[in-house]
Amino acid sequence: MYFKSELRANYSLEHLLKLLRKNPAFSQYCTQKVISKGEILKMGPNNRQYFYMVEQGYFSFYYENEYIGKHFIFFVQRDTMINFLLYKEHMDLSFEYKALSDVLVWEIDFAFLRSMILEEDPRNYYQLNYISTIQTLLFHTIVRQTLDAKRRVIYCLVEIAEELSLYTGEHNYVLPDIVTYDLLAEFAGTSRGYTSRIIKELRDLGLLSSFRKPWIIKDLPKLKKLLHED
């Protein structure tokens, strides 16, 4: 068992690159790459060659299978790992990452990454951080599925505020420019028209500024309280 701060202290893009650069073959197996806005990365059981870590920009992250179709899980931002394989066996899992802006990533040969992680990360901080991230995302996904439409929109705003936003004091959170009516509606699983109506209600309550970018949540604790109202 670890403290969250201990795990996070040993996990970042800078920390990973420093670890990998100990190997003289770093430049042969690790390259920077720009994923253009709108481009999609598909990860499945047959795509096991490369691992990615985000340096700048945002993806929307989807899980897909034959039973539920494609499901919006969350957003991917700086320091997030993509295609970190925990098992040697092939897993029948399919993920999709859509670039919401131009995204700068590091593309790393997975066999090279694995050899360096085994040698330089004996306490498995990277595996544990990945598992912890997935656990949190699944928790939020399950919670969203239990809420009615209005609460889903509000809960999605809370998630974005807590995970992606810039805190500026006085309970104010500046949301990233990627947040739009359409994207929020897709994330919440509601129509754009319904989402717009809920956003207007939040503006009228003085909890949100959304007339221009960036959107600003003006009182996150009060916004959270709405999740408990009938």
pLDDT of 134 strictly over 90: no
Give the pTM: 0.89
Q: Give yes or no: residues 175 and 66 share one domain.
A: no
Residues ≥6 apart with Cβ < 8 Å to 153: 184, 185, 188, 190, 194, 195, 198, 199
pLDDT on residue 87:
67
Evaluate whether 30 touches 155 at the Cβ level (below 8 Å): no
Q: Report the C-alpha gap between 187 and 158 in whole angstroms.
A: 12
pLDDT on residue 88:
63
| Share above pLDDT 70 across residues of the chain, in percent, rounded to a whole number | 97
pLDDT on residue 66:
78
Q: Report the C-alpha gap between 221 and 140 in whole angstroms.
A: 18
pLDDT of 109 strictly over 90: yes
Find the mean pLDDT for residues 155-172. 93
What is the rounded average pLDDT for all residues in the chain?
91
CATH of the domain at 195: 1.10.10.10
Tell me the chain's radius of gyration from C-alpha atoms: 19
| DSSP secondary structure letter of residue 48 | -
Domain boundary at 96, 120, 139, which? 139
Positive/negative CA dihedral, 117, 73, 151, 69: negative
Report the domain count for the chain: 2
pLDDT on residue 73:
92
Calculate the alpha carbon distances from 171 to 10, 82, 222 in Å: 29, 31, 9
Evaluate whether 31 touches 106 at the Cβ level (below 8 Å): yes
Evaluate whether 215 touches 181 at the Cβ level (below 8 Å): no
Q: Mean pLDDT check: name the lowest of 44-53, 121-130, 178-187.
A: 44-53
pLDDT on residue 200:
97
Find the mean pLDDT for residues 125-139. 88
Q: Give yes or no: residues 81 and 159 share one domain.
A: no
Domain boundary at 79, 106, 139, which? 139
Q: Give yes or no: residues 151 and 135 share one domain.
A: no
Q: Give yes or no: residues 82 and 129 share one domain.
A: yes
Q: Report the C-alpha gap between 112 and 38 in whole angstroms.
A: 29
pLDDT tens for each residue of 9-66 = 778 999 999 999 999 999 999 999 999 999 999 987 777 789 999 999 999 999 887 7
* C-alpha closest to that of 59 among 94, 120, 103: 103
> Which two three-digit tokens encode residue 14?
């800078």
CATH of the domain at 18: 2.60.120.10
Helix segments in the chain, DSSP class H: 4-9, 13-20, 26-29, 110-120, 125-146, 149-164, 181-188, 192-204, 220-225
Evaluate whether 42 touches 32 at the Cβ level (below 8 Å): no
Domain boundary at 105, 139, 173, which? 139
pLDDT on residue 85:
73
pLDDT tens for each residue of 61-106 = 998 877 778 889 999 999 998 888 776 665 667 899 999 999 999 9
| pLDDT band for position 191 (cuts 50, 70, 90) | very high
Q: Give yes or no: residues 17 and 131 share one domain.
A: yes
Q: Give yes or no: residues 131 and 163 share one domain.
A: no
Check residues 167 and 48 and name the one with the higher pLDDT. 167
Half-sphere exposure of 168 (CA within 13 A, CB side): 12
pLDDT of 201 strictly over 70: yes
pLDDT tens for each residue of 144-153 = 999 999 999 9
Q: What are phi and psi of 21, to 5 degrees?
A: -70, -10
Q: Give yes or no: residues 108 and 162 share one domain.
A: no
Domain encompassing residue 220: 147-228
pLDDT on residue 177:
95
pLDDT on residue 101:
96
